[in-house]
Amino acid sequence: MDLLKGFLGPWIAMRLCEMQVAAGGADYSHWIPLVAGLLVILGHSFTCFAGFRGGKGVLAALGVFLALCPITALASFGVWVVLTIATKYVSVGSIGACLALAIISTLGYFEMPFPPEKFNEGLWITCLLVAVFVIVKHKSNIKRLLNGTENGFGSKRKTPKV
C-alpha cells in the first residue's frame, strides 16, 4: 500500500496537469507532480493517524520515483535488493538505495549516458532532498548498525553491548 500511494500521488498529478494543458490552461506539469510526491512522502513519514510519527518513507519514495523517473527508481531498487541480500539488513539496503538515487539522478542531471530519462532540475533536487530525508530518518538504524545491535534477516533480537 505504501508503494501504491507513493506512485498514485505524482501519477494523478501528472494526469491532471496533462488534462489542464490539453484544455489550454497553464502548464504546471514540471513541478506539481514533484510537490505531490514530496507531500506523499511527508504524509507517510508524519501521519496524523500515528501521532505524526510514521514510517521512514522508503516504499513511498520508491512509488513516487517509479511514477516520476522509473529507470532511476528501478536502478535504486536493484541496489536495495543487492545490499539487503548481501548484508541481511533492510536498513543498509534502504540507505544504499537512497545514495544510489542521489548518485544516479546526479549522473542523469549532468547528461551522462545513464539513465536515459529526461531530467529537469526540479526532479534532480527532489531526488536529492528525498534521499537525504530518508537517510536522516534512518538515524536510529545507523546507531544500531554502529553498535552492532541492528536486527537482520535470520538473526535473533540483539541486546546492546555493555
**What's the gap between Cα 133 and its chain centre?**
9
- Crossing angle for the helix pair 121-137 and 90-109, to the nearest 10 degrees: 160
- For residue 97, the 8-state DSSP code is H
With contact defined as beta carbons under 8 Å apart, do 76 and 102 qualify? Answer: no
138 belongs to a structural domain: yes
How many domains are contained in the chain? Answer: 1
Q: Please give the residue range of the domain that contains residue 83.
A: 2-147
2 Cβ neighbours under 8 A, 6+ residues apart: 44, 55, 59, 60, 63
Per-residue pLDDT at 96: 96
159 belongs to a structural domain: no
46 belongs to a structural domain: yes
pLDDT averaged per 10 residues, the chain (length 162): 92 89 78 93 85 84 94 94 95 96 81 54 91 94 90 67 56
152 belongs to a structural domain: no
40 belongs to a structural domain: yes
75 belongs to a structural domain: yes
Per-residue pLDDT at 37: 94
32 belongs to a structural domain: yes
Query: How far apart, in whole angstroms, are the C-alpha atoms of residue 162 and residue 147?
Result: 10
With contact defined as beta carbons under 8 Å apart, do 148 and 161 qualify? Answer: yes
155 belongs to a structural domain: no
